[in-house]
Homo-oligomer: A and B are copies of this chain.
Amino acid sequence: MHATPALATPSNATAVAPFQRRDDLGIEQLREHVVVARRRVAAGQFVHRVGQPFHSLFLVGFGCLKTCELADDGREQVTGFHMRGDLLGVESIGLPHYACDVIALEDSEVWELPYPPMLTACLRVPALQERLTAALAAQIRRDRQWMLTLGTLGAESRVAAFLLDLAERHAQIGLDPHRFVLRMCRVDMANYLAIKHETVSRVLSHLAATGLVDVRRRDVTILDPVALRRVASSESSVH
């Protein structure tokens, strides 16, 4: 259900993370073969936009970003939020141009992985190749899991599932899974959840009223993970 795969964990974080994500690549190994440039991205700035020439994948160093899918007629859909260790740009592999927007929600850092060099590195290091392919497959599974959530659950369950997903990902990068800050505004969250932002507000208020969480604007504390998990998997109106 995660929005993006962790291709690798930035080296300064390996000691902190309680466990590595399965689709971890190993950034140290990668750096032996590819020149990795760090790039700062201010809040609101694009890492890449749809239509720009595809040249690199990006690994999130720190911060938080969102991926945005666009339609010709102006509709847009947030398809993922990304944090440290997540790999960006994989969906554009094989295309001349990036297929979506990636925008920083706060000041962030991404590590630029030039793609042609990565390809040649993959030729020399089969393990690298396998891990990149595995990372792509893992991304498909996450998207599918999210489709399952959106397709089968109602508004309240979606919000609960979202909070639990954030909690899990925070745990994976060594942060407190039960107390964190939402880096995205309600509108982005609502778009991702395919509901309206007013509904998100109401659901959060309700979850707080029933004692499952504490919410003060963007500060979230999960008080009853078990009950929250129950909410996140109970079928909704859309039976």
Interface residues of A (CB under 8 A from B): 22-23, 69, 71-73, 75-77, 79, 90-95, 99-100, 119, 122-123, 126, 129-130, 132-134, 136-141, 143-148, 150-153, 191, 194-196, 233-235, 238
Contact = CB atoms under 8 A, between A and B. Distances in A.
A140 B138 contact: no
A139 B148 CA distance: 16
Given A140-B140, A147-B147, A196-B238, 13 more contacts: A22-B94, A71-B233, A91-B137, A91-B141, A92-B137, A99-B141, A122-B129, A129-B129, A136-B136, A136-B137, A143-B147, A150-B150, A150-B194
B99 A151 contact: no
B69 A137 contact: no
Contact of A91 (B123, B144, B194): B144
A160 B21 CA distance: 39
B132 A133 contact: yes
A140 B3 CA distance: 12
B71 A152 contact: yes
13 contacts: A71-B152, A72-B233, A76-B152, A77-B147, A79-B148, A90-B140, A91-B141, A94-B137, A123-B129, A133-B136, A139-B140, A143-B143, A147-B150
A137 B93 contact: yes
Q: How many copies does the complex hold?
A: 2
Contacts of A195: 238
A33 B208 CA distance: 59
Given A136-B136, A137-B136, A79 B152 contact: no
Query: Which 8 interchain pairs have the tightest Cβ spacing?
Result: A94-B134, A93-B137, A136-B136, A77-B148, A151-B194, A75-B152, A91-B140, A77-B151
Contacts of A76: 148, 152
Contacts of A138: 94
Contacts of A151: 77, 150, 191, 194
Nearest to A234: B73
A75 B123 contact: no
A153 B191 CA distance: 12
Nearest to A139: B140
B90 A137 contact: yes
Contacts of A235: 73, 75
A226 to B, nearest CB: 15
